[in-house]
Amino acid sequence: MFNLKSNVDENQLKVINAEKTRLLYSSLAVSLYATIAASVCFSAVQWDVVPHSRIIIWQTLILLVVLIRATTLLAYQRARPDDDQIERWKKFFVTGTAAAGIAWGLGGILLFPAHNPEHQVLVILVMLAMAAGAMTSLGIIPFIFLLFVTPTMLPVLPVYILADGPQPLMVIIMMLLSFGFFLRASLNISRITEQNIQARLFSHSREMEKGLEVERQRQELLEMESIYQNILDNNPDGVAIISDKGKIQLVNNRLANLTGYTTQALIGSSADDIIPMKQASHISTGNILGEQLRQNPGPVDSTLYLIRRDGGSVPVDITLSPLQLDGRTYTVAYVHDITFRIENERRLSQYKHIADNSPDLMLLVGADMTYKAVNSSFLKALGLKEENVLEHHTWDVIPDPTRVELVR
Per-residue confidence band for 33, with pLDDT thresholds at 50, 70 and 90: very high
* Domain stops at, among 209, 235, 268: 209
The predicted pLDDT at position 281 comes to 42
Q: What is the pLDDT of residues 255-272, one digit of tens each?
A: 888 888 888 888 888 887
Same domain as 195, residue 122: yes
Long-range contacts of 336-345 (CB under 8 A, 24+ apart): 336/237, 336/238, 337/237, 337/238, 337/258, 338/303, 339/314, 339/315, 342/315
pLDDT digits 0-9 by tens, 181-195: 999 999 999 889 888
Q: Supply the range of the domain harboring residue 288.
A: 247-337
Contact 361, 377 (CB under 8 A): yes
Q: Are residues 128 and 64 in the same domain?
A: yes
Q: Are residues 346 and 333 in the same domain?
A: no
* Domain finish residue from 179, 209, 239: 209
Segments in 283-398 forming alpha helices (H): 285-295, 339-356, 376-382, 394-397
Name which of 18-32, 90-104, 262-276 the model is least confident about: 262-276
Is residue 360 pLDDT above 90, yes or no?
Answer: no
Residue 224 CB burial class (10 angstroms; 0-12, 13-18, ≥19): exposed
Are 332 and 320 in contact, with CB atoms under 8 Å apart? yes
- Is 261 within a domain? yes
What pairs with residue 373 in β-bridges?
Answer: 364
Mean pLDDT, residues 30-43 taken together: 95
In a domain, 219, yes or no: no
372-386: average pLDDT: 79
Task: With respect to residue 221, please indicate whether it lies within any of the assigned structural domains.
Answer: no
Q: What's the whole-number mean pLDDT along residues 34-45?
A: 95
Residue 228 lies in a domain: no
Percent of the chain with pLDDT over 90: 30
Regarding whether 154 and 103 lie in a shared domain, the answer is yes
Asked, for residue 44, whether it belongs to a domain, the answer is yes
Does the residue 271 lie in any domain?
yes
283, pLDDT greater than 60: no
DSSP classification of residue 310? T
Burial class (CB in 10 A: 0-12, 13-18, 19+), 408: exposed
Q: Which letter does DSSP use for residue 282 in this model?
A: T
pLDDT at 304: 78
How sure is the predictor about 24, in pLDDT bands with cuts at 50, 70 and 90?
very high
Q: Does residue 369 carry a pLDDT above 80?
A: yes
Q: Which of 311, 337, 363 is the last residue of a domain?
A: 337
Same domain for 153 and 41?
yes
The span from the CA of 281 to the CA of 292, in Å, is: 16
Q: Is residue 381 pLDDT above 70, yes or no?
A: yes
What pLDDT sits at residue 222?
Answer: 81
Task: Report the alpha-carbon distance of residue 398 to residue 379 in Å, rounded.
Answer: 12
Residues 402 and 388 reside in one and the same domain: yes
d(CA 227, CA 250): 14
Region 157-182 average pLDDT: 84
Query: With bands split at pLDDT 50, 70 and 90, how would you rate the model's confidence at 300?
Result: low
Provide the mean pLDDT of the chain.
82
Based on the domain organization, do 98 and 20 belong to the same domain? Answer: yes
Give 358 or 99, the one with higher predicted confidence.
99
**Greatest Cα pair distance in the chain:** 158
Instruction: Let me know if residue 84 belongs to a domain.
Output: yes
Same domain, 121 and 192: yes
Q: Are residues 139 and 29 in the same domain?
A: yes
In this structure, are 313 and 401 located in the same domain? Answer: no
209-248: per-residue pLDDT in tens?
Answer: 888 888 888 888 888 777 777 777 778 888 888 888 888 8
What per-residue confidence (pLDDT) applies to 372?
A: 79
Q: How many domains does the chain have?
A: 3
Report yes or no on 2 lying in a domain.
Answer: no
| Domain at 390, CATH number | 3.30.450.20
Gap between the Cα atoms of 66 and 193, Å rounded? 26
Residue 242 has a pLDDT of 87
pLDDT above 90 for 126: yes
Q: 200 pLDDT band (50/70/90 cuts)?
A: confident
Q: Are residues 318 and 371 in the same domain?
A: no
pLDDT of residue 285: 45
Same domain, 26 and 151: yes
Instruction: Look at residue 279 and tell me whether its pLDDT is greater than 50.
Output: no
